Structure 1
């Protein structure tokens, strides 16, 4: 009898964003001048004060195991940050520090889901959400949020989608891939439904520091005692502090859920990296000047990219208010022909762009929208200009 491998693992889709990024890096290694719009990470170096804190930790010998859910010093720093920035009151026993945001989400769904539990995921969504839910034996329920509603979930949609099997909603603001930010009023309406239906909301706030143009970041868990009880707040230092490779994410939740997540993590990975934890203490507690500098630079790039996109024919985009992505409707391009063949799919469009125009973009079929692409402006203004020139040339070459 042939041995069979895990059906669950075989059902997992590989990350298309990582695949596109790898292809761009491969071409660059061959000396080809590729503009990569796939980047999900800042192009800045980690701030020096954070690096120095890590170096000190190494010299101090802070290189051993730590408690599985993280060191108390960092948990307290996270509690302070939650209180001051998010208006959320958590105690250290409600905090779990993990190996990045994906790990935090994996812990969350492992802790709250039983086989067959449904998790509502508004589309467009970050492509890892459904896969993480499925790996935890949950059932993703995708709700499409149209451009006419700024790609944001409405309370009415949520209420109509809830069933007896609904366990949780994933809410991502600022949003990847759209850059949309939910207003306080929109969040309050969603919170009312969450409380009424008695489900959890997993609030992914990874891009919380990167908000532009007068928009404000509101944590849904801050809107009252009842929604607070049902909220698991997820964040990290990757995007705001240019610390993607350090792999530190964290959650605030009820003490009961935090204990379960800590237990799961103790068997899966033990503790998050000790040195990175010390660096994160400095990131959250030290000077925040570099956060503002990076945000200002992202804002300049955002404005330039949006203005250029608005002038291009046959595409449409909404102005992003947060994160560092533009979400672009390319449905009209799919009906056009390139070299005598219909473009047809966003996957084919992305292949043409990288192979013939040396531009890497993210096709968003795996984000729940198979007629959109995502461009990151976490690259230099010079690269953005060059890449947009090439995309414009491609559009003009279509028949």
Structure 2
């Protein structure tokens, strides 16, 4: 376990709680959830109904048939992905779905290609499964996207899988169909599996359209496990209900892994998720519109601030500016917290230490206050000048 450190966002959450306990006022732009938005009323009612009807016992490891049918239905409606309930499993959040995949497919020493910037847990989950993460660099100038020609340079005889997070956390990058087909060509020629993490698939902006890797071709579906969740699109982060779909033999192997860790996901959350996936989706549309307004407010507030460079955001609910005016993202984040009480996540947690991540799913009040404090702190002549390069 010496190779694995605590999740950077979990460490940050502990620090937020500690600062609040000490009486410090903080504005948290580090946590990856909508601060003031909650599950739709019909979803909450489904949970209450499950409790009242005593639907609180164990379910099958992969989730109830009703939930798996709902997941298959939503994949077909939203992603053009046709799967049977036997190709679907539920988990305790998408994070467990990723872990199940790594444990099911990796042998000791197998390599997994992980484009940077990456979600904080990919690297450690590969290590926990005995694999070797291979970080593949991207650049903001190329939209934080990995291209097929770059991937080829990192393939070896030990390459087992590619992690593709689309839309990307933390950069907000969204891949086009053509870019995915380019990646697919490399994957198929190398005999590599794909773990497609698509939890932000409904949260895209400025005309960007999400395309599922597994829906591209039948060949893509045969090598791809798609992970998603109710967490982001329905504002259900704390309900801890994720799901995965893919080739039946891979899903069965992932189910075996889960049977020896957590068993089934929470039963009440399963009923709520079923209601979310099969019910009216207008709340998802409204959420995207609201987050788009907050995205515009954040981008407008960040652009022009000295010491920062903001890049386009097409999806998810994060900004990932670079901080060329500072020694590193970690230095910027620490100085910002000390001076203003605003919390952001250093980019080294995502494999790009010259950046920081800010969540624009915080409330509008929190965003306005945070941007005002940052503007004052970063303005020419402010105390921060002595902390810059």
State TM-score, norm by structure 1.
0.93
Q: Is 2:18 the partner of 1:26?
A: yes
Q: Of the candidates 143, 146, 149, which is equivalent to residue 153 of structure 1? A: 146
Partner of 1:342: none
Partner of 1:37: 29
Q: Is the CA contact (8 Å cut-off) linking 1:333 and 1:395 kept in structure 2?
A: no
Q: Of the candidates 98, 106, 116, which is equivalent to residue 105 of structure 1? A: 98
Q: Deviations over 1:262-296 (max 9, x none)?
A: 11111111111111000000000011111111111
Q: Of the candidates 354, 373, 385, which is equivalent to residue 390 of structure 1? A: 373
CA RMSD of superposed structures (Å): 1.1
Q: Deviations over 1:32-79 (max 9, x none)?
A: 331111020112121111010011111111111100111100100111
Rounded Cα–Cα distance in structure 2 between residues aligned with 1:161 and 1:352 = 36
Partner of 1:67: 60
Rounded Cα–Cα distance in structure 2 between residues aligned with 1:87 and 1:46 = 25
Partner of 2:341: 358
- Deviation, 1:28, is 2.9
Partner of 2:350: 367
Rounded Cα–Cα distance in structure 2 between residues aligned with 1:382 and 1:319 = 23
Q: Is 2:87 the partner of 1:94?
A: yes
Q: Is the CA contact (8 Å cut-off) linking 1:21 and 1:360 kept in structure 2?
A: no
Rounded Cα–Cα distance in structure 1 between residues aligned with 2:370 and 2:81 = 41
- Deviation, 1:92, is 0.8
Q: Deviations over 1:79-137 (max 9, x none)?
A: 11111111111111111110001100110011111111100000010110000010001
- Deviation, 1:23, is 1.9
3-state SS, counterpart of residue 315 of structure 1: coil
Q: Is the CA contact (8 Å cut-off) linking 1:329 and 1:371 kept in structure 2?
A: yes
Q: Deviations over 1:133-184 (max 9, x none)?
A: 1000110000110111111101101112111100000000111000111111
Runs of at least 5 residues in structure 1 that lack an aligned partner in the other structure = 1-8, 335-344
Runs of at least 5 residues in structure 2 that lack an aligned partner in the other structure = none
How many residues were matched structurally?
Answer: 381
Rounded Cα–Cα distance in structure 1 between residues aligned with 2:16 and 2:58 = 37
Partner of 1:235: 228
State TM-score, norm by structure 2.
0.96
Alignment of 1:274-293 (within 5 A): 274-293=267-286
Q: Of the candidates 224, 246, 261, which is equivalent to residue 239 of structure 2? A: 246
